[in-house]
Amino acid sequence: MGGVDVGEGGGKKRSTNSDINMIPFIDLLFVTIAFLLITAVWTTNSRINADAQVPGPPDPNKELTPQTPEKVLNLHIGDSEFSLVWKQGATVVSEIKVPKNPQETGGDSKIVRYPDLAKKLEEEWKTQGGHRDPTDRKLDQCILFSDNRTPFKEIVAVLDALYSPKRDMKFADGTSKKLPVFNMTFSVR
Amino acid sequence: MDRFQRKHHDPHAHVIHAPHKRLMSKVPLRFVWNKVSGHGPKSPNAALNLVSFIDFLMVTVIFLLMSFSASGEMTVDKNVKLPKAENVEDMIDAPMIAVNGNQILVDGTLAGSTRAIEELGRLQKIDELFALLKNKRELWKQLQPNKPFPGVCILQVDQQVPALVVKSVFQTAAFAGYPNVSFMVGKIPSTN
């Protein structure tokens, strides 16, 4: 065992059992604990991405070629149901309704979640999604339509469900990461 | 006390003997005999067992090191109660727009009123917010002229704020050159 050596007054022979002085070691541990406690972040915040879909300035050197519009998911938040509409330009490709089945968890601050919507969104992406290859860096677009009075808590619950389906995406450095399949923007009207 | 009287020197004293019933009873020193028989005085130097104490300190240090975050703390407006989500990304350093039930703040500076937007009842460009964000963008470009502007901002929105306000702030940020908007949320553990 390490102990605290108080020293012996002028011993003739050195003891065979030498004690390690533990005081500096314990001091170091205390200082480390104090530093870590002071700098500790006890609440972890994260972020949910959105994109305002603002087009960049046109490149005058590039010739504009007409492109077929991509399929876009329009997600409507209704009073009692969600409506998932895949549109290509103005053409409606498919439309399904998902009943609103909120699951509330937590104590005082209730967390609203929509697991049914998340499941349905994954199924929809598997059948209609346009960007599935791991080397494809683009994401499928989703436009969120909500009533102006909808509380932000509910919007985040829908966004959480929207970002639940994930796919592998390969980057230029060869690494691969699981990322949400959709990118969201608000419908402004 | 005869026990401690010096005996005649025996040349074979070092020879190994059969063990006696008590160890060291043949040592002709009083303090050793007192110790062996259990009647000696308590040593003034009491040894403190430090093993369990150091173990505890080590466990505390390891726990704190594992939960240590070098990214720093993001300040959240005290009037904002953030919603929680599971499918989230790590925070990044970007201008922070706090939206609570009464006001809109950009990095602590007042940039609009939530009530005014709600009373108007339609989407609008928030002029003060637009001006503040535009200034920030221009300053960033002056400081880093060779880098492309990332256009990222983070919205700290209270969970009860209506969608109308969120959309107005979102749209204003996009107009001011910040199209990549992130919403700050509390993280809930993944169920998968």
**Residue A63: pLDDT above 60?**
yes
List A167's β-bridge partners, or say none: A179
Count CB pairs under 8 A between chains A and B: 172
Of A40, A44, A152, the CB nearest to B64: A40
pLDDT at B1 (0 to 100): 46
Between A105-109, B82-86, B172-176, the lowest mean confidence (pLDDT) is in: A105-109
**Residue B103: pLDDT above 80?**
yes
Asked if B190 has any chain A CB less than 8 Å from its own CB, the reply is: no
**Residue B156: pLDDT above 60?**
yes
Between A109-113, B30-34, B140-144, the lowest mean confidence (pLDDT) is in: B30-34
CA of residue B52 relative to chain centroid, distance: 25
**Residue B3: pLDDT above 60?**
no
At residue A130 the predicted structure's pLDDT band, cuts being 50, 70 and 90, is confident
In chain A, which residues have their Cβ closer than 8 Å to the Cβ of B91?
Answer: 45-47
Q: Do A29 and B61 touch (CB under 8 A)?
A: yes
**Residue A69: pLDDT above 50?**
yes
Q: Which residue has the higher pLDDT, A110 or B180?
A: B180
**Residue B61: pLDDT above 80?**
yes
At residue B8 the predicted structure's pLDDT band, cuts being 50, 70 and 90, is low
Asked if B158 has any chain A CB less than 8 Å from its own CB, the reply is: yes
Q: Report the mean per-residue pLDDT for chain B.
A: 82
pLDDT at B38 (0 to 100): 67
pLDDT at A15 (0 to 100): 67
List B113's β-bridge partners, or say none: B103
At residue A31 the predicted structure's pLDDT band, cuts being 50, 70 and 90, is very high
Helices A115-128 and A152-162, axial angle in degrees (round to 10)? 40
Q: Report the mean per-residue pLDDT for chain A.
A: 82
Q: What is the pLDDT of residues B159-174, one digit of tens each?
A: 999 999 999 999 999 9
Helix (H/G/I), strand (E/B), else coil: B132: helix
Q: Do A52 and B171 touch (CB under 8 A)?
A: yes
DSSP E strands, A11-165: 45-51, 71-77, 81-88, 91-99, 103-105, 111-113, 140-145
Q: What is the pTM assigned to this prediction?
A: 0.71
pLDDT at A27 (0 to 100): 92
Smallest CA–CA distance, residue A21 to chain B, in Å, is: 11
**Residue B13: pLDDT above 70?**
no
Smallest CA–CA distance, residue B182 to chain A, in Å, is: 4
When pLDDT is averaged across residues A104-119 and rounded to a whole number, the result is 82
At residue A1 the predicted structure's pLDDT band, cuts being 50, 70 and 90, is very low
DSSP B73-127: PPP--TT----EESS-B------EEEE-SSEEEETTEEEEEHHHHHHHTS----H
Smallest CA–CA distance, residue A5 to chain B, in Å, is: 10
Q: What is the spatial distance between Cα B49 and Cα B43, in angstroms, rounded to a whole number? A: 15
Between A174-178, B74-78, B88-92, the lowest mean confidence (pLDDT) is in: B74-78
Asked if B56 has any chain A CB less than 8 Å from its own CB, the reply is: no
Q: What is the spatial distance between Cα A50 and Cα B184, in angstroms, rounded to a whole number? A: 11
**Residue B12: pLDDT above 50?**
yes
ipTM: 0.74
A-proximal residues of B, 62-91, CB under 8 Å: 64-65, 67-69, 71-74, 76, 81-91
Asked if B94 has any chain A CB less than 8 Å from its own CB, the reply is: no
Q: Which helix (H) or strand (E) holds B30?
A: helix B30-37
When pLDDT is averaged across residues B52-57 and rounded to a whole number, the result is 90
**Residue A10: pLDDT above 70?**
no
Q: Whose structure tokens read 């306000």?
A: B165
Of B54, B69, B82, the CB nearest to A41: B69
